[in-house]
Amino acid sequence: MLLPGRVPGYCRTDIKLLPSSVTKRNIWKDYRDAMIKCDQRAASYRTFCRRWLELLPSLVIMKPLTDLCWTCQQRGEAIKSASSSLEEKNAALQAYQDHLTTVTIEWSYYTAVRKECKDSITQHYTVNNEFSPPPLHSRAEPNSAPIKAHYSFDYAQQVHYPCDPLQPGPVFFLTPRKCAVFGIHCEAFPRQVNFLCDEAGDCGKGSNTVISQLHYFLENHGLGETDVYLHADNCTGQNKNNYMVWYLLWRVITGRHTNITLSFLVVGHTKFAPDWCFGLFKRLFKRTRIGSLRSIAEVVQKSAICNEAQLVSDEHGNVIVPTLDWITFFAPISSRK
C-alpha cells in the first residue's frame, strides 16, 4: 500500500511496501511456476532480481525492524534468540505462521469487499461509458440505491498549529493548538472526507465522537446504498464497542440501510486506505505555513484530489458537525442487557 511521507528510512515518496514475511525468492518461485504453466521460459533468479531493481525500484520489502506488529516482533525475537531451545523456536515459528495466516485471510477479505463494492458502484453510476458519481453533500435518499458501498475510517495523529516550516524566532507558542483528524474513506472513487476538530470543540475520541461523525458522513455524503461494509482498526474505545453496534442496528431498524457489516483489521496490521490519504495530507502540511484552522482545511483540499476537508466547528465557535450523546440515547438498551 502506498503511504507517502509515512515510511521511515526511505527518501522516496512513492514507496510501496511488501510485508516483511515476503522474500524475493518466494516471489520468483511463484513467477517461475506461472511461467511453467504457460509453457514459457522463466528468467533466472539473478535476472529476476536485476529486472526488479530496474523496472520496479519503488516496490521494496519492509524491513523486520519497521514492522509495527507487536506479535510479529515477539515471535521474530523468539525465533532469532540464541538462548531459545529448538522446541521453543519451533513453537514460536508455528505461532508466527498462524498469525500471518490470520492476517492474510483478513486482508484478503478486505481486498475482496473493496473490489465487490467498487464494481457495484461503478456499474450503477456509469452512463454511456462515463462514470459520474454524485458530488459531496448530495444528501442521497437513504436506502434508495441498490448498490453496495465500502467505507473505512480511522483517526490520524493530531496536527499542531500555528506552525511555520522555517521556524522564525519571534513566533513562539508554549503549547500549540491541537487539531484532531478523523477520516472516512470510500475506495470506489476514491474519496476521503477528513473531519477537522479544533481542541476547543474536541470531545475526545470516544464512542459519541466517532458515531456522530460517521452519522454525519452517511447522512450527508452517503450514496443512498442499501448494503454497507465498514472497516476499522481494532481500537476498543472508538470502534469495537456496544454503542457502535447498537448504532448500526438502529440504522437498519429505521430503514436507513438493509444490511451493514462491520469488520476489524488485525492489531498491528491496520495500514489501510485512510492512512494513504493521511500521508498525502501530512506531506503537504509539513511544508506549508499554517496559521488557522481554515488553513489546515485548505491544505487538506490541496493535498490530493481524493482528500476533502470537513470542519467540525469554525474559528468563531459555530458547530457544523454536532457531537450527539449516543451513549444516553442507547442507555435503555444497555440497562435491559
Handedness of CA 333, 215, 199, 288 (dihedral sign): positive
The confidence score (pLDDT) of residue 9 equals 57
The 225-232 sheet, strands edge to edge: 259-264, 225-232, 145-161, 177-186, 191-198, 307-311
129-336 domain in CATH 3.30.420.10? Answer: yes
Q: How far apart are CA 73 and CA 94, in angstroms?
A: 14
The confidence score (pLDDT) of residue 67 equals 52
Find the distance separating the first CA and the last CA of the chain, reported in whole Å.
Answer: 41
The confidence score (pLDDT) of residue 316 equals 83
The confidence score (pLDDT) of residue 4 equals 44
Q: How far apart are CA 192 and CA 278, in angstroms?
A: 9
The confidence score (pLDDT) of residue 161 equals 87
Phi-psi region of 10 (alpha: psi -120 to 50; beta: other; left: phi over 0): beta
The confidence score (pLDDT) of residue 76 equals 72
pTM comes to 0.79
List the chain domain ranges: 17-66, 129-336
Collapse the DSSP code of 160 into the 3-class scheme (helix H, G, I; strand E, B; otherwise coil) and give the result.
strand
Q: How far is CA 183 from the centre of its chain?
A: 8
| Strands 16-18 and 59-61, bridge-based pairing | parallel
The confidence score (pLDDT) of residue 69 equals 76
- One digit per residue, pLDDT tens: the chain, 337 residues? 444 444 555 556 667 777 766 788 889 999 999 999 999 999 999 999 999 999 988 888 876 555 567 787 777 777 777 777 888 888 888 888 888 888 889 989 999 999 999 999 999 999 888 888 888 888 889 999 999 999 999 999 889 888 877 766 665 666 788 999 999 999 888 899 999 999 888 777 888 999 999 999 999 999 999 999 999 987 766 666 889 999 999 999 999 999 999 999 888 888 888 988 998 898 899 888 888 899 999 999 999 999 999 999 988 888 999 999 998 998 887 666 5
| Prior bond of 176 cis (ω within 30°) | no
The confidence score (pLDDT) of residue 266 equals 87
Q: Are 326 and 250 in contact (CB under 8 A)?
A: no
Q: Are 267 and 234 in contact (CB under 8 A)?
A: yes
The confidence score (pLDDT) of residue 175 equals 75
